[in-house]
Structure 1
């Protein structure tokens, strides 16, 4: 599934109040919302509509591997040479933060998320916060990795398919709920509006499935399909459709099953655009 809200990397951040972690853990952070057989965060309830249970966590880790395949095993593209402090906003399972900490033991790595679902056995230079962090020190780099959520095809093979309907139904519900469904295409403008400089945009085309002839794209497409089939079709849609579109769980399951079947057809050549955008905060 293309939707994935965890995509912000920041380097050289300003100081962080670590006491917010322990304070948060004494409140609603450890409470969860359960519906339709899935678990959701209760801290800032409703601000994130995907689940935070083990099934979703497995999907996020698979998405991480897909990004590594896409970027040729690179965790980031920003020109960072000697990182000191790094923040992973929307860290999810913490897998990106842990990998970065392993590669850069000299850096302090902070993972921030709405849910305390990260592991406890991590490198000593990793800490996790349940909070919002927005400030970056002058000269620091910020990198966003995010989708244009809507799929497309170059040969019309996606037209009138269940999988296309699944995405339209999903994103119309997110639009109704007030969520941005095509962040990737807007990142560059957001960077400019925020005052960042030295902005660089990298656009990648990600296939769905193993139909590409190119070996690299075939691997990336295989991971994209695996991520969607693991939990994406149903997990990404369950809360938003049942809360905002009055669908039943069974209706979501049926459409997800039809989309999954379409995705396995080699004659449907579905593509997504994925953006990596990074920029630097001015010194002044």
Structure 2
């Protein structure tokens, strides 16, 4: 059976969490502000892994220096752990949506602090869980079924001979240059019948009422994302994931779209909570973390100019009259048995 025939028989299922419009809370109308792999990779660790780049008061990875533009210091790790809680809120305390059953071998791509891999290992003690990342910033005290590796997921993989039951990745926007290739590598490295799930944003925000247009928030995203785009990074992967999964050969593809607010302006209690989390992590350091390396390395901005841009975006983010939204996608698919 050809891939096209398989795709025709298994169209993607698309669902969404959001109503046609996100209702605005007007109660504040007068207030405008608010294993073996481990030993192999351990043996290959060189000084470049631990010799971090220190720049503009932030720390960046040393291994494959420059391929990832966000910091890896404690401030950023705290933000990533906040984001983990945020994504759990989005998915109603679920780590994943794919219909996996008793997975034995699992990998979390670009694991960051390793918190997703640790939580998954606790929930599935029968599984051997690998978390891979450019930076060795994961904790040393972890469940016995977790291993962390230093690896560049955009390099050629070597997992095809020992494939996984489940491959997971989350929040890779502005990190990957050839996202389609990455999805194909996932296909080759998952077992027949196994599942791959990727959760990611359409990184450029919008508003349903036009309140985002002409704001300092819009200027922030225009400036920062144009720098990432020109450097070759994928900034809006979410809506493209379905096609990449199809191109790779996956079947039983499921697409779920979540509309996520920034700030506490929504009337709906759950969306208000999500908006608060989104604003909290961005104000903690997210605006600077996204902008600093991209603008200073590719646009010749000074650290001070970035701070001004981020500060204005932060101030606009507290304006209840600006109703900024993001689209977040969870896409999973299965490799055919045959």
How far the C-alpha of 1:119 sits from its partner, in A, is: 0.2
Number of residues paired by the alignment? 270
- Return the alpha-carbon distance in structure 2 between the equivalents of residues 27 and 184 of structure 1: 35
Q: TM-score, normalised by structure 1?
A: 0.92
Kindly report the root-mean-square deviation, in angstroms, between the aligned alpha carbons of the 2 structures: 1.2
Q: Which runs of 5+ in 1 are unaligned?
A: 1-14
How far the C-alpha of 1:27 sits from its partner, in A, is: 4.1
- Return the alpha-carbon distance in structure 2 between the equivalents of residues 56 and 18 of structure 1: 25
Q: Which residue of 1 aligns with 2:325?
A: 271
1:78 pairs with 2:98:
yes
| 1:186-201 equivalence runs, <5 A | 186-201=240-255
Q: Is the 8 A contact 2:37 2:149 kept in 1?
A: no
Q: Is the 8 A contact 1:91 1:97 kept in 2?
A: yes
Q: Which residue of 2 aligns with 1:138?
A: 192
Once the two structures are superposed, residues 92-137 of structure 1 have per-residue CA deviations (whole angstroms, 9 ceiling, x without a partner) of 0000011111111111111000000000011111110111454222
Structure with more contact order per residue of length (Cα contacts < 8 Å, sep ≥ 6):
1
1:117 pairs with 2:137:
yes
- Return the alpha-carbon distance in structure 1 between the equivalents of residues 142 and 37 of structure 2: 20
Q: Is the 8 A contact 2:224 2:291 kept in 1?
A: yes
Q: Is the 8 A contact 1:173 1:241 kept in 2?
A: yes
1:35 pairs with 2:55:
yes
How far the C-alpha of 1:16 sits from its partner, in A, is: 6.8
1:249 pairs with 2:303:
yes
Query: Quick check: which has more Rg, 1 or 2?
Result: 2
Q: TM-score, normalised by structure 2?
A: 0.78
- Return the alpha-carbon distance in structure 1 between the equivalents of residues 144 and 245 of structure 2: 32
- Return the alpha-carbon distance in structure 1 between the equivalents of residues 322 and 105 of structure 2: 44
Q: Which runs of 5+ in 2 are unaligned?
A: 1-34, 158-184
Once the two structures are superposed, residues 184-238 of structure 1 have per-residue CA deviations (whole angstroms, 9 ceiling, x without a partner) of 1110011011111111000000000111111111111111111111111111110
Q: Is the 8 A contact 1:157 1:268 kept in 2?
A: yes
SS in 1 for 2:232: coil
Q: Which residue of 2 aligns with 1:8?
A: none
- Return the alpha-carbon distance in structure 2 between the equivalents of residues 59 and 221 of structure 1: 15
SS in 1 for 2:191: coil
